[in-house]
Amino acid sequence: MEVNEEVSDAYVNKPPLPRQYAESLLVMEEGRGCRISDRAGREYLDMGAGIAVNSLGYGRSDLAEIAAEQMRKLIHVSNLFTTGPAVELAEKIISAGPPRGSKLEFEAVHFGNSGAEANETALKYARLYSNCKRGDGHHRLLAFSGGFHGRTMGALSLTENPQYRLPFGPLIPGVTILPLNDEQALRDTLDESFAAVIIEPIQGEGGLHKPDKNFARALNSLCRQYDVLLIADEIQSGLGRCGELYASSLLGLEPDIITLAKPLAAGLPLSAVLIPSRVNRLLKPGFHATTFGGGPLTTAIASAAWDLLTDPILMKEVSRKGLFLESLLKEGLWKLGIPGEIRGIGMLRGLRLRGGKYDSSWCSKVLRKALDAGLIILKSGSNVLRLAPPLVISDDELAEGTRILFNTLKGTI
């Protein structure tokens, strides 16, 4: 990564980290609202939100006070016990119900530490259900092209990108990956030999593609027909980012299991797996567990964050701001004079310029130049610029961020 001389003192060269990290890393020190500053004091407008984690922004004194109070009382008890914050959070999640329009219900929540762990848990529960219902040989798993479900071995097996997969093969057997929105392929493949189908309502890492309504309808119907559990990976799309509690509501998906993580504990590691009664009644002590997941500190923070993220006023604002951001991107594209497309919903948006030169290396160049200009953005797939700002971002900050973005783009076309 090229480093400007005037900000080079904000970087650490050859950090004592595994080699998958860059040779030089920018050292961040402090954040307030939607802005974060490095150790040299330079400020950045963050429209990546720590990869869609910091939905409530940085430097929240309200959450810091809750954390401090809980740390003085109790930080960890293991899964041999439970605590008030964990029970309170689970009750809030269950009482919120399923995605809008779905008749399914959730009965219990399993807490973990990360999105990958949540997806691993969901896959284990699906295989348990299938084994108990149909016996051996009904364990296959189905995912879709462009999906990203994590970097642990099971989750990675359901992630198509060869860049992530190839160095670690062979992965777990019994996995099929189909093209997203190919209804005929879905009908030709899915049957009772499968335990689960996993899908992202919006592919955060895979180009911000989403299932169309007909495909979602067929997927719901086939899963019910063959009693195959449908898992909605809402790690990045859920918890209000798209203007609904779950993006599944907007796309007509009716999942049996939902996995959550990223913004759940406002930056602390916490995930949740929402399961129905027909799965919950099969679980026995020792079937699955976690040492740190659902501890009193993370769940105390998450309980407060849940109230903020599920506030109907915030949800309405996310929908409005998402449309405002879309209009800013459309206007910027028009002024740029280059064909492109805008993807995503709410505050999970992607911008793709059409043309062979606008490839992965070009996207990486834009990210570097935007950072030099004081803007943090992300990449999705090989050639989509991703915007996932804190949900509390103001209209003025959205306008500022898109202005920096398009000024950056002008210098790369």
Over the stretch 357-403, which tens digit does the pLDDT of each residue have? 899 999 999 999 999 999 999 999 999 999 999 999 999 999 999 99
- Evaluate whether 232 touches 259 at the Cβ level (below 8 Å): yes
- Evaluate whether 347 touches 389 at the Cβ level (below 8 Å): yes
Do 221 and 349 fall within a single domain? no
196: Cα separation from own chain's centroid: 20
Do 320 and 299 fall within a single domain? no
Do 246 and 282 fall within a single domain? yes
Which pLDDT belongs to residue 389?
98
Domain count, the chain: 2
- Cα 24 to Cα 8: distance, rounded to the nearest angstrom: 9
Pairing assessment for the beta strands 35-38 and 43-46 based on DSSP bridges: antiparallel
Whether residue 176 lies inside any domain: the answer is yes
- Cα 391 to Cα 344: distance, rounded to the nearest angstrom: 15
Whether residue 68 lies inside any domain: the answer is no
Do 276 and 332 fall within a single domain? no
- Cα 353 to Cα 380: distance, rounded to the nearest angstrom: 13
Sign for the CA dihedral angle at 238, 243, 246, 250 comes to negative
At residue 151, φ and ψ (nearest 5 deg) are -115, 0
Whether residue 236 lies inside any domain: the answer is yes
Whether residue 65 lies inside any domain: the answer is no
| The model's pTM | 0.95
The mean pLDDT value for 308-333 works out to 97
Model pLDDT for residues 256-310, shown as the tens digit of each residue: 999 999 999 999 999 999 999 999 999 999 999 999 999 999 999 999 999 999 9
pLDDT band at 234 (very low <50, low <70, confident <90, very high): very high
Q: What is the chain's length?
A: 413
Q: What angle do CA 300, 34, 249 make, to 5 degrees?
A: 65
Assess whether pLDDT exceeds 80 at residue 251: yes
- What are the distances in angstroms from CA 283 to CA 126, 231, 272, 279? 11, 18, 16, 7
Model pLDDT for residues 90-100, shown as the tens digit of each residue: 999 999 999 99
Model pLDDT for residues 171-228, shown as the tens digit of each residue: 999 999 999 999 999 999 999 999 999 999 999 999 999 999 999 999 999 999 999 9
